Structure 1
């Protein structure tokens, strides 16, 4: 992690949203979550960062965008769609019309979005982050191996439930490459299969049995947080021997934990998550969640803006031959959660000195 970045982080006791507004006024970094047009009065290079929805994960990425825009003397528009792929398409079309100098997007459905992604790539510098679209004309992908991260998640399940048992997986949506690969990584690890990111995905409706672990189901919620919780509640009722819940998107573990708490089964049903929602980290501290696999959304945002700013200057050397910039995942357990959370607060400007 760049010590220069750490030293420059603000330490006011303000919310992320308030910090964003302050920084926008001071540095010209424009952060938006709506469809209104960004100011272009500054004359600075303008780039955009597009997410796949609204979640705490993206608030952290937003902080990275904001600070990279300041460090690279550009403006960044952050857009968070509320209505899935159709909303993301409208956002991309609007950004094309705005003639931004670059777009970083996490595709919701790369196969069905190939036309709009290629259209945007023909008009401006387009990169992907968090979830890739390798069959499109994107210039590079910033993120991690979601399959390997899924296997890391499977390893946490094995640690939490070493004797084996029944497992259920929760995720926002399937058909999105990062979700598909994470899920398959979890399954392959629990069933002790060989390492194969290209393996055909197991059907979500199938019960998958290994020597020690059984994956009962995979439930999706399409970023509907109420449904995420009700999915978990239904699973607790349906599966009397359920041993572990696995949540693959940032909001899944907190909703799983609420359902488990409501059923008075904290500690009885193990929880393994993905990403660094504050409620997940607190549950790890308290012993109610075994662990979580975290990405680095701050650096997804920071690196995306940094790369797009360089490309806007005509610097193509920032595109690696592999067209992949790896920002590795980490496993967070009770023994390292305090250190990780302090680091996260430092990066997002929530800590004090």
Structure 2
């Protein structure tokens, strides 16, 4: 009798556990309107504070829409391709990706795009089968960055460009826009000046472009070497989120804070504090929070059959902004509010 009671109790507990587990699974990732479970993935092009902001935006969209969101941060193109393959196998409803090497990732992106909805965000892969690109016009943003350099160095001078990598579509665009603006050229997004072969035109001399492949030690060394080779450097420009902080670190070690003008890209805390302290003239910011939020929002709309979100020109613009001393504190306060700080 006791044995029978024990077996019945085990069966009852197992049944209740199954019901609870089923309820948890069915509730996770469900839309607020009771739709089927949907999941999405956002693949960044690296690990940086910029992407931490994007992650908050994407996850906030997931909560607002009642869907599951995964934000994956690779440390290189091989890992990004593997992540892309993995999320496709997992059966996500849509993917947003910032390609690391667009030219050489067309095949991998096309394979994923053939099996699920895929858009590019932050950096484009225009030769791929992606549905559209969401982000800013990086060439125009580069020209805006060039305008900041002109303001910081109105009488002209030497400029060195520091950046993570040049393989990315966005990196090429912003670098070329910066160069064309400084040399007062007519706009031409298809132009490309090879690193180390940029001519001097007018009052600005571009000494070169140094990349670090996301290696912070190498990035700082690039600045150290430049300061040694060019003691009269006029302006250091950092085109990736971590470059301006590395520039500041190097300038501080060399006792040259305030002597060399600094213009940055993105909104690292050190860069924003540098503007407040007067060590950075300004920075050109994107909107990584909206990159994350809007990417998940449009992918979810597509999953629901709303094709009206597809832009006719293949581009959803999230405009860039210039941040200087007059608006940095307002910008930073708004950013911290979004991040829950």
- Give TM-score, length-normalised by structure 2: 0.89
> What's the C-alpha RMSD, in Å, of the aligned pairs?
1.6
State yes or no: 1:128 paired with 2:120: yes
Matches within 5 A, 1:1-353: 28=28, 44-82=37-75, 84-199=76-191, 201-350=192-341
Higher normalized helix content (fraction of residues): 2
| Alpha-carbon displacement from aligned partner over 1:59-87 (angstroms, at most 9, x marks no partner) | 000010011001111010000001x1111
User: What is the DSSP-based 3-state SS (H/G/I as helix, E as strand, rest coil) of the residue aligned with 1:123?
Assistant: coil
C-alpha contact (below 8 Å) 1:208/1:216 kept by paired residues: no
Aligned length: 312
C-alpha contact (below 8 Å) 1:209/1:215 kept by paired residues: yes
User: What is the DSSP-based 3-state SS (H/G/I as helix, E as strand, rest coil) of the residue aligned with 1:242?
Assistant: coil
User: What is the DSSP-based 3-state SS (H/G/I as helix, E as strand, rest coil) of the residue aligned with 2:61?
Assistant: helix
Of structures 1 and 2, the larger Rg is shown by 2
| Alpha-carbon displacement from aligned partner over 1:310-347 (angstroms, at most 9, x marks no partner) | 11112111111111110000000000000000110111
- Give, in whole Å, the separation in 1 of the partners of 2:278 and 2:28: 43
Which sections of structure 2, spanning at least 5 residues, go unmatched?
1-26, 30-34
- Give TM-score, length-normalised by structure 1: 0.86
- Give, in whole Å, the separation in 1 of the partners of 2:198 and 2:311: 40
- Give, in whole Å, the separation in 2 of the partners of 1:251 and 1:104: 23
1:28 shift after superposition: 4.9
Which of 1 and 2 has higher RCO (CA within 8 Å, sep 6+)? 1
User: What is the DSSP-based 3-state SS (H/G/I as helix, E as strand, rest coil) of the residue aligned with 1:293?
Assistant: strand
C-alpha contact (below 8 Å) 1:68/1:305 kept by paired residues: yes
Please list every run of at least 4 consecutive aligned residues from structure 1 whose deviation after the TM superposition is greater than 2 angstroms: none
